[in-house]
Amino acid sequence: MQRLWWHDAVIYHVYPRSFLDTDGDGVGDLPGVRRRLPYLARLGVDALWLSPFFASPMADFGYDVRDHTAVDPLFGDLDDFDELLDAAHGHGLRVLIDYVPNHTSDQHRWFQDSRADPHGPRRDWYVWRDPAPGGAPPNNWITLFGDSAWTWDDATRQYYLHSFLPSMPDLDWRNPAVQDAMFDVARFWLDRGVDGFRVDCAPLIAKDPALRDNPPSAAGSSAHHRSMGGFDDQIHLHDQGHPDLHPRYRDVRALLDSYGKPGDRVALGEVHEYDWPAWSRYFGRDLDELHLPINFGLLGVTWQPQAIGGTIRAILDAVPAGATVTWVMGSHDDPRVASRVGPSQAANAMLLLLTLPGTAILYNGDELGMPDAAVPPDRIRDPWGLRTPALSRDHARSPMPWSSHSDSPSAGFTPTGVEPWLPITIPPGGTVQAQEADRTSPLSFTRDLLALRRTTAALRRGTIAFLDAPDGVLAYTRSDGSEADLLITLNLTDLPVPIDRLLSQRPPRERLLSTARTADAGRGADPTVLAPGEGVVWSAETRGQTDRQDG
């Protein structure tokens, strides 16, 4: 099978609001992303994915789109986007952008037309229904925020459907006119030269046409990786994932494949499905739907070897032959990985992410070991967090800390004297400036790991095999068919662990790269002991090999 650029890519997820502010309004912008492209090129990633920057009232920070083909003035304009795209391509970086197919803002001209005239041509672009007997909503569906998914419109005497905020009405993808309009949106950006899309909330575009009630979930049960409040009170059987969506994603794939050679343009899919065979159906029966349905299995896995290994095996077992798995350890919607697994295990999480087979998504700031930010109640901006502070996503969205200059309280994110839209947090390893100068920093480790991945065939396209290992250690090999396979060992405990038995099962091995970045990493005199929290990539080749753990 022909190898395409995305089969083993590392995609860097940029949350533009929090990357770099160049115009002094406290919010990151597209010129800020362009200014930091050299940083991404030095890091060694293959592509960047931009969260929404489209014209929006910002009720949900850009996912409530008012105009799909305009840049919100908060982030710049179309010229700024074009300059960013050209500059990224000049650095050898592909650019993916968000594609939000399920809903729009209620300020979008489509919805305003739909709402204004019950008999107008755009009325059925959205999901309008009469009330149930007695005036109740048409069914029991609830939003991600735990409220009814239906809002009453006094003027037209019907309810409209929204999977998120009432100001974010759902489009009706069974309407061919909606499909045509949304494909025109995709063409607009493809014609400008984007390399693909990340499809937001991919399962939501097709609901049960009969609008059947969702069944209640068992008390305390949840298929999600963390509690989602009232949303977990139902099994979301009928408000998403109806089989009607598969022809639509075949159409999306055909559209992408019509630009350049098939496979040049790619679609990531946000698929929060934890039944792995059901998740795998988004690839399509003939791998003709989404190129890269994202799996979120590692975001909430218990941080111990059996749970991690079992999750990875289950996902790989579900993947169709010839398909590529996409892994993620952090996102703008979830607690930071350094806070989930603890600062002593953050480097192991990065090592795991970048040594698994397939494509990896690296969320901005995770390369620095950034923890969740401390956001006081009066600084919460996330609409979910305003309703349920414990579920706020702001903690994972704090701005990037670039500079260590004492005259920049915002760590170089905003011009001097400007307050960032969210509080700044400085990771234990320091700002980007500090970590670039420190060979023992998380940033230096991530760069070394990306360089090793880029130059090692076994990591780019090799198979994976899990090994029996001492308690607390996750061990696996990556092999491209030669005798020189790689061994990866992750000590997930806070104690030293001898792994001489593992090392003796294969030809003599040397350390290619270690998360312990100093020579006295706590191993003592025995190199076959993993230090507390240490992860190591071992090579089978010994002749002429040098220990590259410090770069």
Phi first, then psi: what are they for 375, rounded to 5°?
-115, 110
Residue 219 vs residues 216, 233, 234: alpha-carbon distances, Å? 9, 8, 10
Residue 270 annotated among the catalytic residues of the structure = yes
- What whole-number distance in Å separates Cα of residue 135 and Cα of residue 110? 26
Amino acid making up residue 220: G
- What whole-number distance in Å separates Cα of residue 452 and Cα of residue 524? 26
- What whole-number distance in Å separates Cα of residue 472 and Cα of residue 106? 51
- What whole-number distance in Å separates Cα of residue 296 and Cα of residue 291? 16
Residue 541 annotated among the catalytic residues of the structure = no
Look-up of token digits 């290619």: 512
- What whole-number distance in Å separates Cα of residue 170 and Cα of residue 358? 33
Strand 326-328, strand 359-363: pairing: parallel
Q: Both tokens of residue 523? A: 């191993």
Look-up of token digits 């090692």: 456
Q: Is 82 exposed, middle or buried (0-12, 13-18, 19+ CB in 10 A)?
A: middle
- What whole-number distance in Å separates Cα of residue 73 and Cα of residue 76? 5
SS (H, E, C) 183-205: HHHHHHHHHHCCCEEEECCHHHH
Short-list 373, 370, 358, CA closest to 328: 358
Contacts of 32 (CB under 8 A, 6+ apart): 16, 19, 20, 21, 22
SS3 (DSSP) at 27:
coil
Short-list 145, 162, 143, CA closest to 153: 162
One of 8, 64, 200, 485 is an active-site residue; which one?
200
Residue 419 vs residues 402, 403, 474, 529: alpha-carbon distances, Å? 15, 15, 43, 47
One of 8, 239, 270, 367 is an active-site residue; which one?
270
Q: Is the dihedral of CA 393, 394, 396, 399 positive or negative?
A: positive
Q: What is the DSSP string of 158-180?
A: EEEE-SS-TTSPBB-TTSHHHHH
Q: How many residues does the chain have?
A: 551
Active site members: 200, 270
